Amino acid sequence: MAQTPGTSSPTVLVVDDEENISYLVSSALRLAGLTVEAAATGGEALELAARVRPQVVVLDVMLPDLDGFEVLRRLRAGGCLAPVLFLTARGDTADRVRGLTSGGDDYITKPFALEELVARVHVALRRAGTQAAPTARHQVHDLVLDEDQHRVWRGETEVHLTATEFSLLRILLTNAGRVVTRAQILDHVWQYDFAGETAIIESFVSTLRKKVDGVEPKLIHTVRGVGYTVREPG
């Protein structure tokens, strides 16, 4: 199968010390086709920003070391001109005004809808003149999923999947190297809760393995008590 040249997607730096929020936001942005780096402190955010040069920063105001306003000041002083979206539980007018007048581009108050946050990140990218690159093709080792064609290959062999199997493989590939929990799989593949019943996931993963993991090396792995992951061999 002929390979198309790889494309890179804009990088979003997510800065939040609340692990659950950071994980949810990062996962939503990755599923939207963006590259994500995450930091839990202001200091870590500044180091990452200097290294990866993000196109957008999603920045919590209340961090354990520096507050978000100081992180923004240092980002700008260091030459980072990426749009900054403040993400915070502090929603009073004074904080909003301070966030926007200090150089922030948007201000999102918790709780929020992930779909809205993703939409605002894309708006920020458009304003900055950075369009998300096509992310229709996902690949780990010799396993390739093409969203535009709705086709899957393992090496030179095309693999025929049902719509549900395709959706399951897509969430695993778009989070390659990371563990996708059973709850996330239920939410993104079936889009409703099975009231804690996860046997359906195990059944579909088993079928998916037979279709795409019947050769070496094995790419789909179970993380006991958590979920599943697809990762490069070795």
Structural domains of the chain, with CATH: 11-128 (3.40.50.2300), 137-230 (1.10.10.10)
> Looking at the whole model, is its pTM more than 0.95?
no
Q: How far apart are CA 219 and CA 180, in angstroms?
A: 14
pLDDT band at 5 (very low <50, low <70, confident <90, very high): very low
- State residue 127's pLDDT score: 73
Give 125-174 pLDDT, tens digit per residue: 887 775 544 457 889 999 999 987 889 999 999 999 877 788 899 999 98
Spell out a b/e string for 179-189, using b for 16 or more CB atoms within 10 Å of the CB, else e: ebbbebbbebb
Res 53: pLDDT:
92
**First-residue to last-residue Cα distance in the chain:** 24
CA–CA distance, 41 with 37 (Å, rounded to integer) = 13
Give the list of residues 6+ apart from residue 229 with CB closer than 8 angstroms, or none: 172, 175, 176, 177, 178, 179, 180, 220, 221, 223
* Residue whose token pair is 């062999």: 157
Strand, coil or helix: 106: strand
State mean pLDDT over 19-46: 94
Q: How far apart are CA 46 and CA 148, in angstroms?
A: 37
Q: pLDDT tens across 79-93, in order?
A: 888 889 988 776 566
Cβ-based neighbours of 17, under 8 Å, separated by 6 or more: 40, 41, 60, 62, 63, 64
> Do 105 and 124 contact (CB within 8 A), yes or no?
yes
Residue 3 is predicted with a pLDDT of 34
Which of 215, 217, 139, 134 has its CA nearest to residue 177?
Answer: 139
Q: How many angstroms separate the most distant Cα atoms in the chain?
A: 59
